[in-house]
Amino acid sequence: MPHIQVLPPYVADLIAAGEVVERPASVVKELCENALDAGATTVTVEISGGGVRSLRVTDNGCGIAREEVKTAFLPHATSKIGTAEDLDHIGTMGFRGEALPSIAAVARVQLLTRTADADVGTCCEIHCGKEVTLADAGCPVGTTVVVRDLFCRTPARMKFLKKDATEGGYVGAVLERIALSRPEVAFAFIREGKRVFQTPGDGSAGSAVRAVLGKAFYDGMLGTKNAHNGIEVTGFVCQPEAARPNRSQQYFFLNGRWIKCPTASAALGEAYKRSIMAGKFPACVLYITVPTGLVDVNVHPAKTEVRFADERPVFSAVYQSAYGALHTESKRERDALPVRAPVFASAPAAPLSSDPLSPASQMPACQLAILLRDTADGNPLIEEEAPQLLRKTIPQAAQTPVRRPTEAMPEETPPRDVRVVGEVFRTYILCERGGELLLI
């Protein structure tokens, strides 16, 4: 019969560390969140050996007082919350007090810190949960954390890590999300001695997107601002022709925190339902601001999943934001768009209209054809109006019926008089046959 026993403290620390520290990327995430909570305006991350051999996170935040340095490495020690009621209104990135003790339990950690009112800094070294030194040090205001030999105390964890290049890629992906979440903070990422990217920290979401995701990504985006039921959404959504083959470039930030948000992703997909092909997914960088009392971030150890008191307003706000960007001249506002700027309510989704100035009448012919194809439920409004809009877009002689995917194609040999005349959006092939226009 097994006996119930209390685990030794160091074993309990290793278990706790396993929930928080999965790989070098999670270490970087926790340390960067601490830097943001400390009010840092510049954060530099340096890694070598994929972050397993060593990683360094340097910030210019408020620093840690000498008498609180040891306390910072104790489990559940935090400056973010103090009472149970604080959990209902979490506005900081971290709050559990698990990051530093979890990291120190499985690696060799050196912490250099100084507050603005201190003449000299503090150096604290902890090796696998045991304090080695606590002494004076010369350092600027802020905090630098150096982590070496990650998982040196738990070598079994090493076999679950990938190659150094892959782990370094994970670190870069995490830092990209954090840098996008705070355009007002200048982030720099140095990998194996080479600078990968650096954001200007000028407060412009567009500047952060260009620096992190590249100019080509930014050029394919539309700016958007929206407020709905007390929820603000601002940021960028892609132009239909810039849709991606997967959802990997959908970035959602809730109150400054990157999250996985199926609700927002579903709303985005619904807004693009009639604008992109099946199998394509819209890209976005959207900042969602919700009152802290209406969202619970204390759901997952990594704090990447949240729970809303009501998901419907979030869905509606994201949907209207994306739909409004697709049907207005939001591209002009893109360069001047600041993060979490004052928002303006966009017009609600409207049905197709035969008005020449309506959004539907300005669609390319290929989009209208796809719209007809997708109307498998026989919507009379669309079926009546779309042919009129097609006649406005292409000559009557060039029109040809568009088959739905469920309809069987006739088994006939393709005629030889079909001539390819062009390509649209790198997706549709235009051909002509006599007086007909064929859309493939």
Q: How does 95-122 read in b/e, with b if 16+ C-beta sit within 10 Å?
A: bbbbbbbbbbbbbbbbbbbbbeebeebb
Q: CB–CB of 222/238 below 8 Å?
A: yes
Helix (H) or strand (E) holding 210: helix 205-213
What pLDDT, on a 0 to 100 scale, did the predictor assign at position 91?
56
Cα dist from 251 to 98, 135, 292, whole Å:
26, 42, 20
For 74, 224, 231, 271, 321, the CA distances from 311, given in Å and listed in that order, are 37, 21, 11, 16, 16
**Quick one: tokens of 350?**
């409207």
Parallel/antiparallel/unpaired status of strands 130-137 and 121-127 = antiparallel
pLDDT of residue 97: 59
Per-residue pLDDT of the chain (440 residues; tens, 9 = 90+): 666 666 566 555 555 554 568 899 999 999 999 999 889 999 999 999 999 999 999 999 999 999 988 888 887 666 655 566 555 555 566 555 577 888 888 889 999 999 999 999 999 999 987 888 899 999 999 999 999 999 887 777 787 889 999 999 999 999 999 999 999 999 999 999 999 999 999 999 999 999 999 999 999 999 998 887 889 999 999 999 999 999 999 999 998 889 889 999 999 999 998 888 888 999 999 999 998 888 877 666 666 778 888 889 999 999 999 999 988 754 545 554 544 433 333 333 333 333 333 333 344 444 434 433 443 333 433 333 433 433 343 333 334 444 444 444 444 445 567 888 888 877 888 888 888 888 88
399-436 pLDDT tens trace: 444 444 444 444 444 556 788 888 887 788 888 888 88
* pLDDT confidence of residue 20: 66
Phi, psi of 308 (to 5 degrees): -90, 145
Contact 315, 229 (CB under 8 A): no
What pLDDT sits at residue 13? 56
Please check whether residue 13 is in contact with residue 102, taking contact to mean a CB–CB distance below 8 angstroms.
Answer: yes
- Tell me, what's the pLDDT at 131? 81
